[in-house]
């Protein structure tokens, strides 16, 4: 039996927590000096909702979002792919939105926001994104007010979707499309969206504003989340359903709203009634906070070491795309560069306006080829490739496959060398490249040329001399 598929739609941000200690005040200003101890990145916005939905491991999760062609977009691709999420990315003009929190002793001293004003995604909705929406068991729109939920073709596809849709709104975002099964604003959002001053009790305000928005949006139901008090479900009847939290949970509530919306969408994907989905979502969000919130459930590893996804790649992408050129990419270990490699690289470069080589890191090569490889370190391999006139940029990746870096680069053409066209194994990257409408092509190796054979021949000659 196939697993249920949740498709998350919305704006993804890069959240970065910088933790350290404050031991002194700056001599040039009355401000504390933070000595950095560690840095952790995680996907925020719709990306966080997708990560939380995938964390249970019981459902497949796909994400339709917008990614910029910068280092922040590359990091998000890495984080999302590592979480097992299929990413369908639209082009995001400008810079990746980032939220950087400077913390000491668990307390936030300052939050720095980067990325500028919201930039709606550009271009058409890829056919692969339409197809994944059609296959969804449920859809969650996690709107963070930066433009993805305004995309006209995406809105049309959401309105036509047969799967139940949960919409987590934002005051700066658009109204949900008609026919949404469940909308999940919090108390502050529902008051702002309904222009309700909040006279009377919190319950009466949630009920009044929730019913107003349900009618205005032509939604099936509105669940107003009330923090530790649970949620109020406003549906077709005049009496709301009050869903209390199963227990009191003290802790960091950051991400609890995303956990609630994701939990409701997952329950609907499994066939639950709306009332049942809200009860499961309240229980899940409460348990999430009690277990430590994001610190326990969504924190990634430390910031990766520099050396891949650098500025030269950004510049090449921006330059070629500014003139509507064709971005070509290929990948491999390129441990001992030989004439077979050169033939493949030249053939790849002839297919477009730039060639970006996705290079396996040293650790990645060891996992693929064994402990004796690579013979040349990634820095040396990068420098040799960059010296070729047919290579415009090199990007190093550490994962077993180039899925994360491909999701960021989104090349128009992905080139592989080998015998895949002659009945060999399927090409796993083809499905990934199809997500944004890219094309996968194969160019043949020169017969008899390979790094493994070259190393074996060299060792054979050496052993013969002993």
Spatial separation of the C-alpha atoms in residues 186 and 285, rounded to whole Å: 13
- Do residues 292 and 255 touch, judged by C-beta distance below 8 A? no
Can you give the pLDDT at residue 200? Answer: 65
CATH number for the domain that contains residue 419: 3.40.50.620
- 357-401 pLDDT, tens digit per residue, is 999 999 989 988 888 888 889 999 999 999 999 999 999 998 888
Task: Decide if 264 is inside a domain.
Answer: yes
Tell the residue number behind the tokens 């390129």, with chain if given: 334
Which of 241, 270, 297 corresponds to the end of one domain?
A: 297
Low-confidence ranges of the chain (pLDDT < 70): 1, 197-200, 248-251, 296-311, 418-426, 445-466
Tell the residue number behind the tokens 């090349």, with chain if given: 411
Whether residues 282 and 383 fall in one domain: no
Task: Decide if 84 is inside a domain.
Answer: yes
Q: Report CA-CA distances (Å) from 392 to 150, 153, 330, 378, 437.
A: 35, 34, 12, 17, 22
Whether residues 290 and 324 fall in one domain: no
What does the angle CA 196 – CA 181 – CA 8 come to, to the nearest 5 degrees? 100
C-alpha count within 13 angstroms, C-beta hemisphere, residue 90: 29
Task: Decide if 139 is inside a domain.
Answer: yes
Whether residues 15 and 62 fall in one domain: yes
CA nearest to 69, candidates 311, 243, 252, 297: 311
Task: Work out the end-to-end distance of the chain between its first and last CA atoms, rounded to an integer number of angstroms.
Answer: 59
Tell the residue number behind the tokens 């009191």, with chain if given: 248
- 23-70 pLDDT, tens digit per residue, is 999 999 889 999 999 999 999 999 999 999 999 889 999 999 999 988
* Alpha helices by DSSP H, 96-201: 127-135, 152-160, 187-194
**Complete edge-to-edge strand list for the sheet that includes strand 12-25:** 32-45, 12-25, 98-104, 107-114
Whether residues 207 and 272 fall in one domain: yes
- Do residues 213 and 183 touch, judged by C-beta distance below 8 A? yes
Contacts 24+ apart (CB under 8 A), 53-59: 53/6, 53/8, 53/140, 53/262, 53/265, 53/266, 54/83, 54/84, 54/85, 55/83, 55/297, 55/298, 56/266, 58/3, 58/4, 58/266, 59/3, 59/4, 59/5, 59/6, 59/137, 59/266, 59/269
Spatial separation of the C-alpha atoms in residues 414 and 439, rounded to whole Å: 6
Looking at residue 221, the DSSP 8-state letter turns out to be -
Task: Decide if 306 is inside a domain.
Answer: no
Whether residues 278 and 344 fall in one domain: no
Which of 297, 329, 350 corresponds to the end of one domain?
A: 297
Whether residues 213 and 137 fall in one domain: yes
CA nearest to 264, candidates 159, 176, 180, 158: 180
User: Angle, to 10 degrees, between the axis of helix 152-160 and the axis of helix 127-135?
Assistant: 30
Q: Collect all residues with Cβ–Cβ distance below 8 Å to 208 and sequence separation of at least 6.
A: 194, 196, 200
Q: Pairing mode, if any, of strands 98-104 and 12-25? A: parallel
Whether residues 122 and 60 fall in one domain: yes
Whether residues 54 and 150 fall in one domain: yes
Bridge partners (DSSP) of residue 142 are: 10, 168
Which of 297, 323, 355 corresponds to the end of one domain?
A: 297
Whether residues 278 and 168 fall in one domain: yes
Task: Decide if 146 is inside a domain.
Answer: yes
Note if 258 is an active site residue. Answer: yes
Whether residues 260 and 366 fall in one domain: no
Domain count along the chain: 2
Can you give the pLDDT at residue 263? Answer: 97
Q: How many CB atoms lie within 10 A of CB 55?
A: 16
CA nearest to 17, candidates 126, 124, 115, 109: 109
Can you give the pLDDT at residue 462? Answer: 52
Looking at residue 179, the DSSP 8-state letter turns out to be T
Task: Decide if 325 is inside a domain.
Answer: yes
- Do residues 398 and 420 touch, judged by C-beta distance below 8 A? no
Length of the chain: 466
- Catalytic entry in 17, 258, 314, 392: 258
- 217-259 pLDDT, tens digit per residue, is 999 999 999 988 899 999 987 788 999 988 766 667 888 999 9
Residue range(s) defining the domain that contains residue 103: 5-297
CATH number for the domain that contains residue 139: 3.40.1190.20
């Amino acid at each position: 039996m196939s697993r249920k598929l949740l498709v998350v739609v919305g704006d993804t941000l890069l959240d970065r927590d910088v933790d350290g200690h404050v031991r002194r005040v700056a001599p040039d200003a009355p401000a504390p000096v933070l000595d950095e101890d560690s840095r952790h990145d995680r996907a925020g916005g719709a990306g966080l909702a997708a990560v939380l939905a995938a964390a249970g491991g019981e459902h497949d999760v796909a994400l339709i979002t917008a990614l910029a062609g910068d280092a922040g977009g590359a990091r998000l691709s890495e984080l999302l792919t590592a979480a097992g999420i299929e990413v369908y990315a639209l082009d995001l003009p400008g810079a990746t939105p980032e939220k950087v929190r400077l913390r000491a002793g668990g307390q936030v001293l300052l939050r720095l926001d980067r990325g500028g004003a919201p930039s709606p995604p550009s271009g058409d909705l890829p056919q692969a994104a339409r197809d994944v929406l059609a296959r969804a068991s449920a859809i969650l729109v996690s709107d963070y007010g930066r433009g993805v939920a305004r995309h006209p073709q995406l809105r049309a596809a959401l309105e036509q979707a047969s799967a139940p849709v949960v919409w987590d709104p934002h005051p700066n975002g658009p109204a949900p499309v008609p026919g949404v099964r469940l909308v999940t604003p919090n108390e502050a959002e529902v008051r702002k969206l309904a222009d309700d001053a909040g006279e009377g009790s919190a319950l009466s305000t949630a009920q009044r504003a929730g019913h107003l928005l349900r009618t205005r949006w032509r939604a099936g139901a509105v669940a107003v989340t009330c923090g530790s008090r649970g949620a109020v479900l406003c549906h077709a009847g005049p009496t709301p359903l009050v869903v209390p939290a199963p227990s009191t949970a003290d802790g960091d509530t950051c991400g609890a709203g995303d956990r609630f919306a994701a939990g409701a969408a997952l329950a609907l994907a499994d066939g639950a009634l709306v009332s049942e989905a809200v009860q499961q979502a309240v229980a899940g969000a409460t348990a999430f906070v009690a277990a430590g919130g994001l610190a326990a459930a969504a924190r990634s590893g430390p910031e990766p070491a520099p050396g891949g996804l650098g500025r030269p790649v950004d510049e090449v992408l921006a330059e070629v795309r500014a003139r509507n050129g064709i971005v070509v990419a290929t990948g491999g270990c390129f441990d001992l560069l030989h004439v077979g490699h050169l033939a493949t690289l030249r053939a790849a470069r002839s297919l477009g306006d730039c060639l970006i080589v996705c290079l396996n890191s040293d650790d990645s090569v060891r996992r693929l080829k064994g402990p004796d490889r690579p013979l040349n370190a990634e820095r040396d391999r990068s420098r040799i490739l960059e010296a070729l006139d047919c290579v415009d940029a090199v990007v190093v990746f550490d994962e077993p496959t180039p899925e994360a870096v491909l999701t960021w680069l989104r090349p128009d053409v992905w080139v592989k060398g080998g015998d895949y066209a002659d009945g060999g194994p399927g090409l796993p990257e083809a499905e990934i490249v199809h997500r944004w409408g890219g094309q996968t092509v194969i160019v043949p190796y020169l017969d008899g040329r390979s790094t493994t054979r070259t190393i074996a021949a060299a060792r054979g000659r050496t052993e013969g001399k002993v």
